[in-house]
Structure 1
Amino acid sequence: MKFTDGYWQTLPGMSVLHPRDVADVVVGDAEVRVYAPTAPQRRRGDSLNRPLVSVAFDSPMDDVIRVRIEHHSGGVDRGPHFDVATGPADVKVTGPEAGSVTLRSGGLSARIGTGGPWDVTFEADGRVLTSSTPRSVGIATDAAGRTYVHEQLTLGVREHVYGLGERFGAFVKNGQSVDIWNADGGTASEQAYKNVPFYLSDAGYGVFVDHPGRVSFEVGSEVVSRTQFSVPGESLQYYVIHGPTPKDVLRRYTALTGRPALPPAWSYGLWLSTSFTTSYDEETVTSFVDGMADRDLPLSVFHFDCFWMRAYHWTDFTWDPATFPDPQGMLDRLKAKGLKICVWINPYIAQRSALFEEGRAGGFLVRRADGSVWQTDLWQAGMGLVDFTNPAAVAWYQGHLRRLVGQGVDAFKTDFGERIPTDVVWHDGSDPERMHNYYTQLYNRAVFDLLEDELGPGEAVLFARSATAGGQQFPVHWGGDCESTFVSMAESLRGGLSLASSGFGFWSHDIGGFEGTPDPAVFKRWLAFGLLSSHSRLHGSSSYRVPWAFDEEAVEVTRRFTTLKHQLMPYLAAAGVEAHQEGVPVMRPMVLEFPDDPGAATVDTQYMLGPDLLVAPVFTAAGDVDVYVPAGTWTSLLSGAQVSGPRWVRERHGFDSVPLYVRPGTVLAQGARTDRPDYDWADGVTLRHFDLPEGHRSVTTVPAVGEQPTATFVVTRTGQQVRVEARGTSAPWAVQVEPMGDRAAQGVTVPAGTGEVTLELRRD
């Protein structure tokens, strides 16, 4: 929120106190606490009737500094709180000396001025990252007596800010006002389903505001040279996270808030849905599944949306007997076709549901202050809300999911989780304002934990809509309710890029859009985008999304990009492992891979799929697309054509094509199968080498599937020779050198077993 009227004045009815001088500094072995009065202290009497601000500095792990600003500290802390991890921290405090005291954690330092006006500087590698200046910290009170605490950290020239969760407006957040408050607002407004109080700067740092409720950000929009963030109440806690690269910042941020679980291999395949309000029964479902098979379209997951249950009964976890009279038999028949099954759920219990009275009597539903169950008619008539702060309610809800898993359900689409009231009383006494955003964390964790418990580690996967900080631990998330247009396709991509900049490793979206019915051109362009995402789902609102409902070319496009994705599974799986182990997302904004390229800083119409594949979705029916190509010679994976950067390139593509470029110096592992994503990726793998420079050495890892071992390939180039050494694989593999300037491509197949091969580069 804003507190000032221009630069000089506060808004009417608003008063703001700022720390002026440092009155006292308390130094410990690993922390510094500063006491700063809000008026000049010229004589002893100036300490009377004056507010004092306390600011504490410490570190939970290397290269992360925690700052806590407090006015009155006697309030009741009702929670909830983000789960923030701690780790090894090499912390050193020096001073006070020469007018300052310094707390250093790893390579990051906070230098706090102890003489003169308020001044805190965060430094790394001999340079200033950002600063808190004399008017940055504020204790504000509005006309109604409500208090807020704000901080303003400086922005540098050409510094860009990203993240803040899933945001569908401009990818670069400079100039924007953003409230961290989950809402069911679609993808066409400033509202978002996944709000994360973390921003990433390309100046070498990130900032995480440790407050699960409403956090207001003014990114160069209240003071153009600063990013302001504020929370209601009397205290504000935040973390400054050093990089130096954006990927390093995400590694440390996800070390704090949690890294994503590794999704099962089958989840990377194509998901097909009934869609939302369409008419369907087992015959319809079977016609879709068989129609995909008849057209040689690989399908991995079938999803049943809301109306697998009876209208007005959501959620009762019971198959509609009129539509699905034999649910167990149907699921058995679908699974016999090799499919995984996903069903839709939400955290609401309709009044007509058989579970409503059970939940009311057991205290499993959120209540109002007078003890009555909180209810609304918005969405489901008379519905209540499961209280996931109550362990008994969690067990009750999970028990019904357990029954579905026993029937053969493999995954849950955890819809909603944003419409959380603030005029309620929670079982554990949590603050309703803080619980509004945090609720989704409890909801998704309860479902994810149930799946892990029933199916085993590595088999749990969600299709979740809402999230907040830490939600990345429970993949996969999808973009929500978008329209079926090229404009909405682009806004969906911006939402995914912002979410990736906020630490989320796996992301999907509704291919073709959700609201309305896409025309065939939109659908076919969206297919390439969707199947070159970490996860891929065909889903709509009032119309089916089977490809032949559009035209025969849509069938061909679906087949082309589904089989391509299956071939890319050794590469995509390795990117997924990186997301799981390091917190670097599978789908990456260009700035994450090219932080030193000014041309990449603002690009929001393309992305890197893993570290080495550039994808530029086509947002026009005619196929015209502008692609930003970073430095080097890039090779089209689809055509073999080459283009050199850094520069913008305009291209035209048919519906069966998309700009898909391989980064120079890449060793790309491609699998031998096109019919499914979950196979032994090392068996028959092909290593394609693109424009390897002299002296190149790299290690390519093909992750294990099931009981198969992980395969490792060491690739080196010396002069005209490319040598590949395989380790840990008992399967056959191949090696191929792609065009390198005027040199010809070569290929050789290597027999089964660990071994090595050397190729001689020849000129045409």
Structure 2
Amino acid sequence: MKFTDGNWLLQPGVKANYPAEVFEAQAQNGELELYVPTRHIRHRGDTLEGPVLTVRVSSPMQDVLRVRVSHFEGLHPRTPDFPIFESSDVPEIHLDEDFATVTSGQLTARIHRKNYSLEFVAGGEVITRSPSRGTGYIRSDQHGTFVHEQLTLGVGENVYGLGERFTSFVKNGQNVEVWNRDGGTGSDQAYKNVPFYLTNKGYGVFVRQPEQVSFEVATEKVSRVQFSVAGESLEYYVIYGPTPKEILQKYTTLTGKPALPPAWSFGLWLTTSFTTSYDENTVNSFLDGMQERNLPLSVFHFDCFWMKAFRWCDFEWDSEVFPDPEGMLDRLHGRGLKVCVWINPYIAQRSSLFREAAEKGYLLKRKDGSVWQWDLWQPGMGIVDFTNPAACEWFAGHMKRLSKMGVDSFKTDFGERIPTEDVQWFDGSDPQRMHNFYPYLYNKVVFEALQEETGEAALFARSATAGCQQFPVHWGGDCDSTFESMAESLRGGLSLTLSGFGYWSHDIGGFEGMPPAELYKRWTAFGLMSSHSRLHGSTSYRVPWLFDEESVDVLRHFSYLKNRLMPYLFQQAVHTHQTGIPMMRAMLLEFPEDPACHMLDRQYMLGDSLLVAPVFSKDNLAEYYVPEGTWTDLFTGLPVEGGRWVREQYGFLSMPLLVKPGSLLVTGSTEARAEYDYGEDAVITIYQLRDGETARVTVPTLSGEVDYTLTVTRVGDAYQVQQSGNLRPYELKVAGQSGPVKVLPASEVVVL
């Protein structure tokens, strides 16, 4: 929230206190502790009143500095906290008369002692700082106390991230409330709020506060980012990159790397849709229709009404509609399909589980000990209290039971509407902090239950916060069936992947409404060139023959393409799991030195090598930017010169899909499914490799291990090739060149 009224005044009823000087400083156990009065101490009489702030600076890992500002410290500890993964590195701390410094790796916090300010220095330059009146302790007559920090923005500095936000991609000029809400994709509300941002100037900031955090991004002060929380303390981390990729690598080392989803999850998912009428015959009609039209499918999803109305969630199949669920699941598996079912963490009063959960204390309670209930979404529903270990075990038990029955995945819907008034959590957690943190506990329980039961896990999760990237996959939520909503969905996805999330999906065709055929076809191409791909709607089905015959052709064309690309895509997924660098990347992430890429939100890189620019218009016109170099159109094989904007029209069986120069792109031998032996009869194509340049590519196994690695160096008009790992046959090609590739005889094969 804003505390000032312009440059000189404060809001009515607001009193602000700012650090004036460092009165005492001491270093112990790898932490610098500063005692900071909010007025200058001229004589002993000035020490008699406060407020006085305590500022602690430490380091959880190299190139990351933690700052904690607190006023009253005698309060009960507030939980939960975002889990972080700390190293044993100890920072260097130095004190002299004028400065106190803490150095971790390449990053230094420098505190001016006489007139308090805090600078973050890397490479000999100040990358950001908390200037005079940047840190503040606020008393508001209406709203209580707050602690805020303000970090400066330089000329041309852009702010990105803060979760899956559907507003403008660059966050400058926005007031962002980090507070999970079920608001669809068309407003400034978000399902996935993450108090982390990065900038194009080499650093990121993680505010380790699970409660509501208010960000004023170049609004309260247009040259600063302000973030504030209610209460008596504030903790944040500055993460030095300097590149955006390095920032995300370090942030996800701190908060958790994305797990590796199983290979089958990257294939096409088809659902029943939400309120449509369906039974096993309906499901079979969809599957038969897909098979008859040679449309490959990996996963079939049953949405809410696999359970009886008013009984969500009792985790029991509606016997009137599905009289033989075990047999049905066996039959679906016999078709080569995986099965996903919808769940949420709410137990309706009509559910057979409600009484059991209430009696055993598995549901969130009011302060008087009664079950917290309301009628929004499901009549009389209670909320599972995942702070109770017994409730977690109980909930996980139902997941494992369904898994034994044949369910392979869960769509973990909801988790945003978590109350904060008149509630008592089992472990005494602070209600404000639990609101955003709840989806972390919810998705962790389901993800780990699947892993324990099957050895692999893939969710389709909607709500999230910091750290939830460890439990993929996440999808964008309820979008409209319009081109505008298609574009806002992509903005949200790119913001999320710049917030530490590795994999992302969306509802192909839009969730609300019936998409026109032209939108369905364009969204199909976009959806199948995303990390994960799902056909899903609200009141209408999403099988392609309901739109027109060309929609069938488009779905087949791009499904086949994605499956052929799976050796490349799955290796990119492995890289995401290992590094935290997302599969779907904002252009800024891959080309930080190109200022033209800093604002782009209608195109992205899918892994290292593929540029994807969905078509967002009825007139078939695509407008996109190509970075420097000679790229190659994947469909036509023609070169595309970069360093410029391109405006072209595309038919529905095409889209801007370019291969980056210097790439080795691996394609597979199978187009009928996503999960197969990626090393068998692979085709490796060389794209615009310059003389003397070397490229390397790894072909993965289905477990994410290395099958073999190919290293190619161009020497004149020939290529030196080295293979390491398993000795597997492959076909080597050069893009735009017919005939055999000239391979130098000095090439080696190294078998491990």
The answer to whether TM tops 0.5 is yes
Question: Aligned partners of 1:678, 1:686: CA distance in 2, in Å?
Answer: 17
Q: Distance in 2 between matches of 1:725 and 1:704?
A: 19
Tell me which residue corresponds to 2:612.
Answer: 615
Q: Distance in 2 between matches of 1:492 and 1:478?
A: 10
Written as runs of structure 1 = structure 2, the 5 A alignment for 1:175-214 is 175-214=173-212
Report what 1:689 is aligned to.
686
- In structure 2, the partner of 1:351 is 349
Q: Deviations over 1:326-360 (max 9, x none)?
A: 11111111110000000000000000000000101
Show the counterpart of 2:597.
Answer: 600
Q: Distance in 2 between matches of 1:525 and 1:651?
A: 15
Q: Contact conserved, 2:64 with 2:240, CA < 8 A, in 1?
A: yes
Contact (CA 8 Å) 1:20, 1:36: kept in 2 or not? Answer: yes
Q: Which residue of 2 aligns with 1:83?
A: 83
Judge which range, 639-648 or 332-341, deviates more. Answer: 639-648
Name the counterpart of 2:541: 544
Paired with 1:81 and 1:708, the residues of 2 have a C-alpha distance of 34
Match of 1:518 among 499, 515, 520: 515
Displacement of 1:66 in angstroms is 0.2
2:309 maps to 1:311: yes
Residues 737 and 746, structure 1, Cα contact 8 Å, conserved in 2: no
- On the 8 A contact 1:38/1:51 being kept in 2, the answer is yes
Residue 392 of structure 1 corresponds to: 390
Please say if residues 623 and 654 of structure 1, whose CA atoms lie closer than 8 Å, have aligned partners that are also in contact: yes
Match of 1:106 in 2: 105
Aligned to 1:625: 622
User: What letter is aligned with 2:614?
Assistant: P
Q: Is the 8 A contact 1:18 1:138 kept in 2?
A: yes
The letter of the residue matching 2:78 is R
> Is the 8 Å Cα contact of residues 66 and 239 (structure 1) preserved in structure 2?
yes
Instruction: Tell me by how many angstroms 1:746 deviates.
Output: 4.3
1:167, 1:498 within 8 Å by CA — same for their partners in 2?
A: yes
Indicate how the Cα distance of structure 1 residues 708 and 427 shifts in structure 2: closer, same or farther if over 3 A, else same.
Answer: closer
Aligned equivalents of 1:350, 1:145: Cα separation in 2? 35
Q: Secondary structure at the match of 1:710?
A: strand
Residues 258 and 470 in structure 2, CA contact (< 8 A), matched pair in contact too: yes
1:695 Cα deviation from its structure 2 partner:
1.4
Secondary structure at 1:174 match in 2: coil
> Which position in structure 2 is the counterpart of 1:448?
447
Give the Cα separation in 1 of the matches to 2:705 and 2:151. 50
**Change in 2 beyond 3 A, CA 1:237/1:708:** closer
Alignment-mate amino acid for residue 248 of structure 1: E
Deviation at residue 31 of structure 1 after TM alignment: 2.0
1-side partners of 2:645 and 2:64: how far apart?
A: 37
Gaps of 5+ in 1: 758-764
> Where do 1:69-218 residues align within 5 Å?
69-89=69-89, 91-97=91-97, 99-115=98-114, 117-144=115-142, 146-218=144-216
Alignment of 1:438-517 (within 5 A): 438-456=437-455, 459-517=456-514
Task: Please give the per-residue CA displacement for 1:10-61, whole angstroms capped at 9, x wherever unaligned.
Answer: 1011111000112111123622111111112222211112211111100010
Q: Distance in 2 between matches of 1:666 and 1:583?
A: 21
* 1:725 alignment counterpart: 722
What number of residue pairs does the alignment pair up? 746
Q: Aligned residue for 2:734?
A: 737
Deviations 1:404-428 (Å, cap 9, x if unpaired)?
A: 1111000000000000011210000
CA distance in 2, matches of 1:729, 1:291: 40
2:670 pairs, out of 670, 673, 683, with: 673
Aligned to 1:562: 559
- What displacement does 1:545 show? 0.2
- Identical positions, percent: 58
* Bigger mean CA offset, 117-126 vs 86-95: 86-95
Aligned partner of 1:469: which letter?
Answer: A
Q: What is the Cα deviation at residue 724 of structure 1? A: 2.0
Query: How far did residue 692 of structure 1 move?
Result: 0.5
Deviation at 1:616, TM superposition (A): 0.3
TM-score, normalising length: structure 2: 0.98
Q: Tell me the amino acid that sits aligned with residue 434 of structure 2.
A: M
**Alignment RMSD (CA, Å):** 1.4
Any runs of at least 4 consecutive aligned residues in structure 1 with deviations exceeding 6 A, and if so which? none
For the 8 Å contact 1:19–1:53, the answer to whether it is kept is yes
Alignment of 1:382-421 (within 5 A): 382-421=380-419
Question: Could you tell me which residue of structure 2 aligns to residue 8 of structure 1?
Answer: 8
Q: Quick one: which of 561, 577, 584 aligns to 2:574?
A: 577
Q: Report deviation, 1:398.
A: 1.2
Counterpart pick for 1:257 among 255, 258, 268: 255
Do the aligned partners of residues 46 and 187 (structure 1) sit closer, same or farther apart at CA in structure 2, a change above 3 Å counting?
A: same
Task: Give the TM-score taking structure 1 as reference length.
Answer: 0.96
Asked if structure 1 preserves the Cα contact closer than 8 Å seen for 2:698 and 2:706, the reply is no
Whether the 8 Å CA contact 2:574–2:704 is kept in 1: the answer is no
Once structures 1 and 2 are overlaid, which stretch shifts more, 702-711 or 284-293?
702-711
Contact 1:680 1:708 (C-alpha < 8 Å) held by counterparts: no
Separation of aligned partners in 1, 2:367 and 2:94:
51
* 1:707 Cα offset (Å): 9.9
29 and 718 in structure 1: CA distance in 2 versus 1, 3 angstrom threshold: farther
Long gaps (5+) in structure 2: none
- For residues 400 and 632 of structure 1, what CA distance do their matches in structure 2 show? 54
Alpha-carbon distance, 1:729 to partner = 2.9
